[in-house]
Amino acid sequence: MEEEQRRALRRGRPQLVAELQVAPLWEPLEDRGLFTRPMLEELQSAGSRGDQARQLIIDLETRGKQAFPIFLSILQDTGQGGLADMLMEKCQALPAPLQLPDLRPVELELPGEKSTRNVSFPERLSIPVQAESERLQMSPTLAQGSAVDRRNHDLVYQLKAKPCGHCLVLNNVTFSRDSKLSSRDGSDVDCEKLEKTFKAFSFSVLTQRDLKAQEMVVELQKLARQDHRALDCCVVVILSHGCQTSHIQFPGAIYGTDGNLIPVEKIVNYFNGSNCPTLRGKPKLFFIQACGGDKRDRGFVVDCDSPAEEAPAGPLEADANPFQTPQGNADQPDAMACLPTPSDILVSYSTFPGYVSWREASRGSWYVETLVNVLQQCAHTEDLLSMLVKVTNAVAARGTYKQIPGCFNFLRKKFFFMCQ
């Protein structure tokens, strides 16, 4: 969709939310190929007529170049030509978008090596970055008691409920033959470690194993729709194969055992402030052990000393599949609304977008093994972001092939786990 068409939809959204009759639109939207049946069912579950209209307009922005004219045609066909005319007027009245200079990727060569191919970057590649820590002066000495109690409450999420929140673990190990995805040996090791860790942090833990994509959606929606008013936070852990997809905010997508994909954006969006009101203002943490693509990183040589490299105990496996677009009835990866209220959300990825995430059958994945070790050793005294830096540093030092975790942080305060 052209940028002026997107802006026309945004400017016309108040009138569309107030006047758009959505019921006559569902059948032609599916017949004209703008939305699949599962996507329409999800739109219909958004709430009132106005809520459905709002979500439809948001999602429409991502439905491709022909979405705008097709939508106008459907409006005309369903007796809502006035709204179609309004959108055309807003589109034609908009000034031309600012032309930015053409930015091209730089071709890189290693010393003494001829580059054999261009370095390509996926469209809208988002780089996991660590947010700058809040400038809060800590006491140099730590007295006994909870780490949270020793810090300014205005800058720390308060966890007082018991349990403090729900933790959903989705563990996909065995995949259907049609999916052409290998079994994830070692994932049960990860799962067991995570269950024990989050139970020790006073979470109510629910684990679901080997779910198809739609079954994963059902479990995620079920959790998001629960009443969290008596709880203080929420955690979602996903262990599965993954791949790189086009995206708006959060990169990557997760495979169900049937080989269908769920975009990470969609997973996170179920829990944002618009869709999950009882978690507003409360931290929502996502930990994703899955590949971000199929690239393998051999790293680069540094002059400074680095931690000793740890040899793997067995053969390495990757939770990867190449960049692709879901087929069939799976939701398209670019069919997600922009995250409207991303506050209080943190998404921790096991690897950089586009790259594989390594796992050993006997010990589990590098990321989960390191994450659990750091949490167990440091959670009594350190906040989550500080611990994730330790995880990144430790994982980056492992193996001949390299891997570096990262996170998207939209937390407003420091987060300390409730340690018993």
Please give the full DSSP string across 81-110, using - where no structure is assigned.
Answer: HHHHHHHHHHHHHSPPPPPPPPP-PPP---
- Assigned domain for 136 exists: no
Catalytic residue among 167, 233, 291, 407: 291
Asked whether residue 371 falls in the same domain as residue 247, the answer is yes
Told to judge if 153 belongs to the known catalytic residues of this protein, a careful annotator would answer no
Structural tokens at position 158? 């308060």
Q: Which CATH number covers residue 220?
A: 3.40.50.1460
Q: Are strands 242-243 and 203-209 parallel, antiparallel or unpaired?
A: unpaired
pLDDT, residue 247, reads 64
- Per-residue pLDDT at 321 exceeds 70: no
Closest CA to 240 of 206, 196, 210, 284: 210
- Assigned domain for 64 exists: yes
- Per-residue pLDDT at 111 exceeds 70: no
Catalytic residue among 166, 228, 241, 247: 241
- Assigned domain for 127 exists: no
- Assigned domain for 385 exists: yes
Range of the domain at 365: 148-409
Using one digit for the tens of pLDDT, what is the confidence trace for 183-242?
A: 988 899 999 999 999 999 999 999 999 999 999 999 999 999 999 999 999 999 999 998
Asked whether residue 386 falls in the same domain as residue 259, the answer is yes
With contact defined as beta carbons under 8 Å apart, do 411 and 386 qualify?
Answer: no
- How many residues are recorded in the chain? 420
Asked whether residue 268 falls in the same domain as residue 181, the answer is yes
Closest CA to 213 of 254, 180, 243: 254
Asked whether residue 78 falls in the same domain as residue 163, the answer is no
Asked whether residue 70 falls in the same domain as residue 7, the answer is yes
Asked whether residue 228 falls in the same domain as residue 158, the answer is yes
Structural tokens at position 159? 């966890």
- Assigned domain for 77 exists: yes
Residue 6 main-chain phi, psi, to 5 deg: -60, -45
Asked whether residue 194 falls in the same domain as residue 73, the answer is no
205 strand-pairing partners: 167
Using one digit for the tens of pLDDT, what is the confidence trace for 24-35?
A: 999 999 989 888
Burial (CB count within 10 angstroms: exposed 0-12, middle 13-18, buried 19+), residue 373: middle
- Assigned domain for 418 exists: no
- Per-residue pLDDT at 100 exceeds 80: no
Q: Cα separation of 409 and 399, whole Å?
A: 27
Q: Among 58, 74, 93, which residue terminates a domain?
A: 93
pTM listed for this prediction: 0.57
Asked whether residue 61 falls in the same domain as residue 204, the answer is no
How many domains is the chain built from?
2
Q: Which CATH number covers residue 73?
A: 1.10.533.10
With contact defined as beta carbons under 8 Å apart, do 288 and 349 qualify?
Answer: yes
- Assigned domain for 135 exists: no
Told to judge if 166 belongs to the known catalytic residues of this protein, a careful annotator would answer no
- Assigned domain for 416 exists: no
Asked whether residue 8 falls in the same domain as residue 72, the answer is yes
In angstroms, what is the C-alpha Rg of the chain? 23
Asked whether residue 88 falls in the same domain as residue 226, the answer is no
Helix axes 366-378, 384-396, angle to 10 degrees: 140
Asked whether residue 32 falls in the same domain as residue 166, the answer is no
Q: Cα separation of 8 and 331, whole Å?
A: 25
Asked whether residue 244 falls in the same domain as residue 328, the answer is yes
- How is the beta sheet containing 242-243 ordered, strand by strand? 261-263, 253-255, 242-243, 320-321
